[in-house]
Amino acid sequence: MQCSVSYNLNKGTLRGMHYQAAPHEEDKVIRCTAGSIFDVIVDIRTGSPSYGRWFGTRTHGRQSARTPRSKGLRPWLLTLADESEVLYMISPRYAPDCARGFRWDDPNIAIAWPMKPLVISARDAAYRMLDHGSR
């Protein structure tokens, strides 16, 4: 339904935990087309035994690997090189009223970032922590 490109000039740019709530939950495919990223997913499926847990991997431009995302698994990324570019294929269309997010530095998730984020948008910095009472 939607295809987006994120160009990130500086190494250390964090692209935060954005997602859409029901009934507009997203499926995504993410591909690093230039540069290098640390690609993270977090499970926010209520009732899931892995709720609040994360997985991260380094992905480099021009690799054939693609990172699929399913509903309830939310993506983040941190650029590891200047001039990194990421292609997103997203379904369904963006629904602003269903836009949500949570903090990249939530101590209950405790993502082991390979470097400290240097560039964080005001939107990403303003998100609250994930509600860990739902485990």
pTM for this structure?
Answer: 0.84
Give residue-wise pLDDT tens across range 60-78: 876 545 555 566 677 788 9
In one-letter notation, the amino acid at residue 80 is L
Considering the candidates 7, 18, 51, 94, report the single residue annotated as catalytic: 18
Question: Does the annotation count 18 as an active-site position?
Answer: yes
d(CA 4, CA 55): 23
Q: Mean pLDDT across the stretch 1-24?
A: 88
Give residue-wise pLDDT tens across range 29-65: 888 899 999 989 888 888 889 988 999 989 887 654 5
Dihedral pair phi/psi, residue 21, rounded to 5°: -80, 165
Maximum separation of any 2 CA atoms in the chain, in Å = 40
Closest CA to 61 of 83, 88, 89: 83
What is the four-CA torsion angle of 64, 13, 102, 22, rounded to 10 degrees? -40
Considering the candidates 88, 94, 127, 132, report the single residue annotated as catalytic: 88
Question: Does the annotation count 24 as an active-site position?
Answer: no
Domains defined for the chain, CATH in brackets? 2-127 (2.60.120.10)
